[in-house]
Amino acid sequence: MAEQSYSWAYSLVDSSQVSTFLISILLIVYGSFRSLNMDCENQEKDKDGNPTASGSFNNANSNNSIQTIDSTQALFLPIGASVSLLVMFFFFDSVQVVFTICTAVLATIAFAFLLLPMCQYLTRPCSPQNKISFGCCGRFTLAELLSFSLSVMLVLIWVLTGHWLLMDALAMGLCVAMIAFVRLPSLKVSCLLLSGLLIYDVFWVFFSAYIFNSNVMVKVATQPADNPLDVLSRKLHLGPGMGRDVPRLSLPGKLVFPSSTGSHFSMLGIGDIVMPGLLLCFVLRYDNYKKQATGEVPGPANMSGRMQRVSYFHCTLIGYFVGLLTATVASRIHRAAQPALLYLVPFTLLPLLTMAYLKGDLRRMWSEPFHAKSSSSRFLEV
């Protein structure tokens, strides 16, 4: 009887849960440092080739591919996500092929971005980093071409096999790319975005069944899509051996890991990684800015030296781990899907706000965390 009562505790050490914990944390840490290195590279380019650069740490986002979320976007993003969720719920059969193709294209680009550092390391000894022109398509280095080619091959194999491991690889690329290319400019925008997404997650997981007679979030997340090859084969009236035996595809909007017994899968949506990951990316950039800034105002006199040495990044990362652990325990106890952001948002935001208040940084982080400096900022090494 006691073993049954504590079965949820034993399930936490299952390989699927351990994999979920480790991979999600590694993706957030890696994506945050990739973001920081991108800022470093962009600022170096501005310093060398753009005489009008202001020198602000936050102006390292001069790369047009980097998107900074403002307050209005933070408020309306949960509404846009809700509309997209309803479209997928009601019209999935009509839009699934288009959605699958768009997802495959985005996953290809994102996974190429994930592979790029490895390809740069491999091609560095044998080739200079000169760019090769492809006409109107642009100019690319050998490492970029290699990473894109490998990414295209992986997506094609995923389409042909539908294997969960390849889907996870593509989802990891999407997570890292979104964390690296999207910026939260302040703590105020971070609170607006995460609070809105918490309400969004709770509503669609807990209350959507009362309105739509189905758990909208779970149904959309777990519903497989028709394989584009199969659809193309039917449209062209090809034989049964031409594209008809390909599997349906589970789209890379989540990470799934099988248990050691193979009896079940552990699942975590990429939004539960990316959205807290954006907050972790923000505090990592602030930690680095504060460390490199000159004339930093010390904290309150009663603050211990040990507290001053604790970084916001480590504090928030520990909060993410505790929040993910709490969400996992809750799902095992209640034996039902849980809105992970219900646990992740409080466990990341509240310790961060408390530490910022104790250190005297809350006002600064809330509105204008990055101020222009006369000297160029240096960055942490990865």
Residue linked to tokens 């894109």:
148
Active site residue 287: no
Query: Terminus-to-terminus CA distance in the chain, angstroms?
Result: 49
Is the CB of residue 173 less than 8 Å from the CB of residue 113? yes
Its domain, for residue 60, covers 2-367
Active-site entry in 201, 230, 287, 361: 201
Distance CA 298, CA 367 (A): 19
Q: Quick check: is 19 in a domain? A: yes
pLDDT of residue 1: 46
pLDDT of residue 374: 43
pLDDT of residue 9: 54
Q: Quick check: is 376 in a domain? A: no
Gyration radius of the chain over CA positions = 23
User: φ and ψ at 285, to 5 degrees?
Assistant: -65, -40
Q: Quick check: is 380 in a domain? A: no
Q: Quick check: is 382 in a domain? A: no
List the beta bridge partners of residue 269.
Answer: 254
Residue linked to tokens 């646990």:
343
Active-site entry in 230, 272, 287, 361: 272
Q: What is the pLDDT along the chain (382 residues), one digit of tens a residue?
A: 445 555 555 555 677 788 888 999 999 999 999 998 888 777 777 666 554 444 444 444 445 678 899 999 999 999 999 999 999 999 888 888 888 999 999 999 999 999 999 998 888 877 666 777 777 777 788 888 899 999 999 999 999 998 889 999 999 999 999 999 999 999 999 999 999 999 999 999 989 888 888 889 988 888 888 888 887 777 776 655 555 577 888 888 899 888 766 666 788 899 999 999 999 999 999 988 888 774 454 444 444 555 566 789 999 999 999 999 999 888 888 777 788 999 999 999 999 999 999 888 899 899 888 765 444 444 444 3
Q: Six-digit token pair at 201?
A: 């997650």
pLDDT of residue 301: 42
User: φ and ψ at 293, to 5 degrees?
Assistant: -70, 145
Residue 252, judged by CB atoms within 10 A of its CB (0-12, 13-18, 19+), counts as: buried
Helices (H), ranges, the chain: 2-5, 7-11, 15-49, 71-123, 142-161, 164-181, 187-202, 208-212, 216-222, 228-235, 271-292, 305-309, 312-334, 341-359, 362-367
pLDDT of residue 48: 63
Contact partners, residue 28, CB within 8 Å, separation at least 6: 175, 179, 273, 276, 277, 280, 317, 320
pLDDT of residue 225: 87
Helix (H) or strand (E) holding 182, with range, is strand 182-183
pLDDT of residue 129: 65
Which 3 state secondary structure label does DSSP give 74?
helix
CA dihedral 282, 283, 286, 287 (to 10 degrees): -150
How many domains, in total, are found in the chain?
Answer: 1
Q: Quick check: is 128 in a domain? A: yes
Active site residue 201: yes
Query: Quick check: pTM over 0.95?
Result: no
pLDDT of residue 288: 87
Q: Quick check: is 378 in a domain? A: no
pLDDT of residue 230: 81
Q: Quick check: is 201 in a domain? A: yes
List the beta bridge partners of residue 266.
Answer: 257
Of 351, 375, 369, 178, whose CA–CA distance to 278 is shortest?
Answer: 178
Q: Quick check: is 341 in a domain? A: yes
